[in-house]
A = this chain, B = another copy of it.
Amino acid sequence: MKSEPDVRQTRRPGRRPGPTETRAAILAAARELFAEKGYDGTSLRAIARAAGCDPALVHHFFGNKEGVFTTAMQFPVTPADVLPRLLEAPPDQLGETLVRIFLEIWRDEERRAPVIAMVRSAMTNEQAATLMREFITTALLRRVAAARGTSLLRAEAAVGQMVGVAILRYVIKTEPVASASEEELVELLAPVIQHYLG
């Protein structure tokens, strides 16, 4: 999407003047590309091109491709600041609250990107799948199931519902869910989530 001018036909080797900002640029480009193409579909060279530097620099900062990925994915969603909101919601509005939190995360690209990247990558990459598996079980299922009294299986069905709709909406882009409003989605999904966790 972002096509840097790439005017720098030739830049002399050696450290650039001024403070170092390339590392951050690499991570930003990596997040964008991983979200768009998944782990296997994203090459180190494409990241470097988007970040305006040499591929070897990516390698220098992060060791290898796996290093770039795990560093770029560090902070998909921090459940810490989300759980309080969940627990202080009245029990009969738990479903609605949860759906709203999900929708908030998906709202701006900034926060959605790592999640989608993870989903996309986990489909074809075993390592990414492991990452996602652990995130789901330890960060979502256990906490929700522990806080509320529900079984893990029911909690997982709720997660499945949200993940499934997210994939249809943001990856496959099937209508009408792709262009439904957030309010419509709340109305649609909240009762089901409530049913699973109630």
A159–B161 alpha-carbon span in the complex (Å): 9
A152 touches which of B122, B123, B141, B176 (Cβ 8 Å): B176
A41–B127 alpha-carbon span in the complex (Å): 14
Min CB distance A23 to B, Å, is 26
| Contact A157:B119 (CB < 8 A) given known A167-B163, A174-B136 | no
A81–B141 alpha-carbon span in the complex (Å): 37
A167–B123 alpha-carbon span in the complex (Å): 9
A159 touches which of B40, B162, B168 (Cβ 8 Å): B168
Stretch at the interface among A11-19, A47-55, A57-65, A187-195: A187-195
Specify which chain B residues have a CB less than 8 angstroms from the CB of A132 in the assembled complex: 172
The reply to whether the CB of A146 lies closer than 8 angstroms to some CB of chain B is no
| Contact A167:B168 (CB < 8 A) given known A123-B120, A177-B160 | no
| Contact A129:B172 (CB < 8 A) given known A123-B123, A153-B177, A153-B188 | yes
Specify which chain B residues have a CB less than 8 angstroms from the CB of A176 in the assembled complex: 152-153, 156
Copies in the complex: 2
**Contact bitstring A102-139, B, C-beta under 8 A = 1, else 0:** 00000000000000000110111000010011001100
Specify which chain B residues have a CB less than 8 angstroms from the CB of A40 in the assembled complex: 40-41, 124
Q: Are A172 and B122 in contact (CB under 8 A)?
A: yes
Min CB distance A185 to B, Å, is 9
The reply to whether the CB of A164 lies closer than 8 angstroms to some CB of chain B is yes
A163–B172 alpha-carbon span in the complex (Å): 12
A156–B6 alpha-carbon span in the complex (Å): 42
| Contact A137:B188 (CB < 8 A) given known A124-B124, A164-B161, A165-B160 | no
The contact sample of 18 A-B pairs, CB cut-off 8 A, is: A40-B41, A41-B124, A122-B172, A123-B124, A124-B124, A129-B172, A133-B172, A133-B173, A137-B175, A141-B174, A156-B165, A157-B188, A157-B189, A157-B192, A160-B167, A161-B192, A163-B167, A192-B196
